[in-house]
Amino acid sequence: MGIRLEESADWSSVYAIYSAAFGQSAEADLVRHMHQDGDLILSLIAYGDEPVGHIAYSRLVLHETGSIRAAVLAPLAVAPSFQKQGIGAALVRDGLKRLTDRGYDLVLVLGEPHYYGRFGFDPNLAEKLQTPYDGPYLQALALSPRGTGAHGPASYARAFAELK
Ligand SMILES: CC(C)(COP(=O)(O)OP(=O)(O)OC[C@H]1O[C@@H](n2cnc3c(N)ncnc32)[C@H](O)[C@@H]1OP(=O)(O)O)[C@@H](O)C(=O)NCCC(=O)NCCS
């Protein structure tokens, strides 16, 4: 199993992975729209003989602490027959490392604290931000000491508004 950058030839696989994992294609549409809008920071494929998992990280604008570089982790999926083998965790960790290497300070995710807590995501850190997704499932991870200083209103990529 390897992880690499997603390429345009992967689109049908990305749709197949999200459709199988979520039973709908809205999350794959989200990735495509963020790509079209230039909001995608990182798009990764986990692959064996073929693509089996995908993760995206997109731009997050912090209005009061604009010098802090922030990203949103979403969406993430692993094809059902390949779940619970550590592939989702490998995609998260690989992405976090790449973002750290690129100088990002903060990552935000909306998801199960039981799952994302293992990577260090913390609802308390996210509480200082104001987003359309505030609540116990919104968690943040500081990739640098600067990241812990993030606060105030934050804007997701435009395509997220279409998911509601
Ligand atoms: C969530 C998902 C990406 C995890 O990928 P994975 O490769 O199966 O995960 P890993 O093997 O790294 O980790 C397995 C752990 O995730 C947990 N897990 C799997 N799906 C989960 C879910 N939907 N919610 C919470 N925990 C979940 C498993 O119970 C297991 O927990 P454990 O380690 O305490 O036993 C994958 O299960 C998936 O695509 N699910 C459907 C789509 C989805 O819900 N995406 C999440 C978007 S926030």
Amino acid identity of residue 78, one-letter, is V
Average pLDDT over residues 125-152: 97
Question: Is it true that the peptide bond before 75 is cis, omega within 30 degrees of 0?
Answer: yes
Residue nearest to atom 23 of ligand 1 (CA): 112
pLDDT tens-digit readout, 95-132: 999 999 999 999 999 999 999 999 999 999 999 999 99
Q: What is the DSSP string of 64-77?
A: SSTTS-EEEEEEEE
Residues ≥6 apart with Cβ < 8 Å to 144: 100, 104, 105, 106
pLDDT above 70 for 13: yes
Ligand 1 contact via 162 beta carbon (within 6 Å): no
Q: Where are the domains of the chain?
A: 2-158
Beta bridge partners of 56: 43
Q: Which helix (H) or strand (E) holds 97?
A: helix 87-101
- Residue 25 CB–ligand 1 contact under 6 Å: no
Task: Please determine, for residue 164, whether its predicted confidence score (pLDDT) is greater than 70.
Answer: no
CATH architecture for residues 2-158: 3-Layer(aba) Sandwich (3.40)
